[in-house]
Amino acid sequence: MFIAIDIGNTNITIGLRQDDGTWEEYRIGSEKVEPLVYYTRQLAVISREINKQGHTIEGVGISSVVPHLTDVVLDATRLELHHDPVLFQSKWYHLLPVTPANPEEIGTDLLANALAACVEYQGPCLVVDFGTALTYTLVNDKQKIEGVAIAPGIKTAMKALAGNAAQLPEIPLELPDNPLGTNTVEAMNSGILWGFVGQMVFMLDKIRQFAGYPITTVATGGLSEVLKPLQPHFDAIDRHLTLKGIYHFFKLVQADRGAHHAG
């Protein structure tokens, strides 16, 4: 069993890759920094479940876009899972089949997405990640990341609206049938969620025009299944794409280390 840990701005997603390639997912909130013991306790629950199922851990990979959480999660992993994780970082980017245009600026989550899309779907592809930020990452026919677009994510927009308007509450995300609501909750869901549908359709068309070649469109992220009207616009919806990218990165690093050891 392989363990992928994706440290994002809202959640730490922990994915357990089963031997058949399927994923089991756990989430820990990341908006508040907790002490080391908190993360070791969270990982202890997962470790007990792995032991109960009779699995052994092949390795651990970590991607982080939250620098102040990286070291504490690395330490917790070493203490509780007894593995030294492979951290997704630039010193190994030369091993990747996909080339970032600006490696020091692109988030490792976006690079993991691009790597997984290249391996899993092949050919030119556009990855749309529904996370804290809504991101579009285009990988061209030469397996180079041609560019990225970043917009506020759905929950980020909802929190910003609720936080800056005294009479607007935070509400659950549910796409209404109508584009106009008759109460506050319906009105917020209509405006934000149907607005995202419109933005997405426009951006997909705009990026296709910019690319000028056929691309495979892949949606990922925890909210990738919320906007049902968008599903026909994607060739695939792969909730675990980032975790898969961390796994493929780990395998590349492992192979490189094995080659150097053999030499």
The helix (H) or strand (E) run that includes residue 119 is helix 108-121
Give me the pLDDT at residue 235, please. Answer: 93
Q: CA Rg, the chain, in Å?
A: 19
Give me the pLDDT at residue 163, please. Answer: 62
Q: Is the dihedral of CA 53, 119, 231, 63 positive or negative?
A: positive
Beta strand 133-139 with 125-130 is: antiparallel
CA distances from 96 to 115, 124, 153, 254 (A): 7, 16, 28, 13
Give me the pLDDT at residue 162, please. Answer: 67
Per-residue pLDDT of 51-62, as tens digits, reads 888 888 999 999
Beta strand 59-64 with 86-87 is: parallel
Per-residue pLDDT of 144-195, as tens digits, reads 999 999 998 888 877 777 665 545 556 667 777 888 888 877 888 888 888 8
The residue among 262 and 233 whose pLDDT is bigger is 233
Report helix, strand or coil for 1.
Answer: coil
CB 218 within 8 A of CB 238: yes
Give me the pLDDT at residue 36, please. Answer: 93
pLDDT above 80: residue 131: yes
- Name every residue whose Cβ is closer than 8 Å to that of residue 89 and which is 6 or more positions away in sequence: 108
Q: Is 19 among the catalytic positions? A: no
pLDDT above 60: residue 80: yes
- The whole-angstrom separation of Cα 257 and Cα 263 is 10
- The whole-angstrom separation of Cα 119 and Cα 246 is 12
Give me the pLDDT at residue 261, please. Answer: 64
The CATH number fitting domain 113-244, selected from 3.40.1550.10, 3.40.50.300, 3.60.9.10, 3.30.420.40? 3.30.420.40
Q: Which two tokens stand for residue 224?
A: 């990738």
Per-residue pLDDT of 201-211, as tens digits, reads 999 999 999 99
Confidence of residue 111 (pLDDT cuts 50, 70, 90): very high
CA distances from 4 to 61, 72, 227, 242 (A): 5, 16, 26, 9
The residue among 103 and 147 whose pLDDT is bigger is 147
* Active-site option among 75, 84, 109, 235: 109
CB atoms within 10 A of CB 218: 24
Q: Which two tokens stand for residue 100?
A: 């970032």
Confidence of residue 88 (pLDDT cuts 50, 70, 90): very high
pLDDT above 70: residue 5: yes
Q: Model pTM greater than 0.85?
A: yes
Confidence of residue 38 (pLDDT cuts 50, 70, 90): very high
Same topology between domain 2-87 and domain 113-244: yes
Per-domain boundaries in the chain: 2-87, 113-244
Give me the pLDDT at residue 171, please. Answer: 64
Give me the pLDDT at residue 135, please. Answer: 94
CA triple 199-10-62, angle to 5 deg = 110
Give me the pLDDT at residue 262, please. Answer: 64
Q: What is the pLDDT averaged over residues 214-220?
A: 94
The superfamily CATH assigns to domain 2-87 is ATPase, nucleotide binding domain (3.30.420.40)
Per-residue pLDDT of 221-239, as tens digits, reads 866 566 677 888 899 999 9
